[in-house]
Amino acid sequence: MKKRYLLLITITLIISTNPAFADKVSPQNISTQKEAWSLEYLKNNFSELYQKNYDKFFDTYYVYEKQASDCISPQKTADFLDLARYIKGNAEVAEVFGEFSDRLIMSNPTCYLESAILLNEEALSALVRFYLSTPLTYEGQKGVPQTLEKYKDNPKYHRVMELYYQKKP
C-alpha cells in the first residue's frame, strides 16, 4: 500500500512539473498547484485562464515578467513580449503589460530591441502598435520616444523602427 502511494505521488509530480504535459492540464486541475503554468499554456488559453483562475493567471504572468525583466536571454524576453498579440482588449492585462514595456524599453533598450527583432510580424506589429507607439505611463510618454530616437538609424533594428515611425500617432 505504501509503495503504491509513493508511486502515485511520484507519477503526479512528474506529470505536474513536466512542460510536455502542461498543455494537457486544465485550469481546474492545476489551480491548486503552486507552480506557474508554462508561458505557452498561458498564451494558448489566455482569456479562459484570466476568467477562470485570475490569481493564478497573474501569479504566472509575474513569474515570466520577472524573467523577461532580468534579460537573461533575448529569446526569453521575446517569448514574453509575444504576449502583446494575445492581450486583445483585456484592459487590465494591457495596463500591466504596458507598464512593463515602458519600464524595460527605457531601462534596458538593447535587451528590449534585441528581443523585439526575434518576434514574428504579428507579435511585433501588436507590440509596436499598442505599446511602443502609445506608451502607457507618464514617464514612458516622454522616455520611450527619446530612447527609440537613439536607435532609429541602427540597421539591426530596422523592422522595429520602420513599424514604430509608421504607427506613431
What is the residue-wise DSSP string for 34-66? SSPPPHHHHHHTHHHHHHH-HHHHHHHHHHHHH
Q: Do residues 140 and 112 lie in contact, with contact meaning Cβ atoms separated by under 8 Å?
A: no
CA distance 151 to 4: 61
Q: pTM of the entire structure?
A: 0.77
The answer to whether residue 11 is domain-embedded is no
Domain span holding position 160: 39-167
For residue 92, tell me if it sits in a domain: yes
Number of domains in the chain: 1
The pLDDT profile of the chain, 169 residues, written as one tens digit per residue, is 544 444 444 444 454 445 444 444 444 444 444 566 899 999 999 999 999 999 999 999 999 999 999 999 999 999 999 999 999 889 999 999 999 999 999 999 999 999 999 999 999 999 999 999 999 899 999 999 999 999 999 999 999 999 999 865 5
Name the grid cell of 94.
494591457
Q: Does the CA dihedral 98-101-105-106 come out positive or negative?
A: positive
Is there a domain that residue 10 lies in?
no
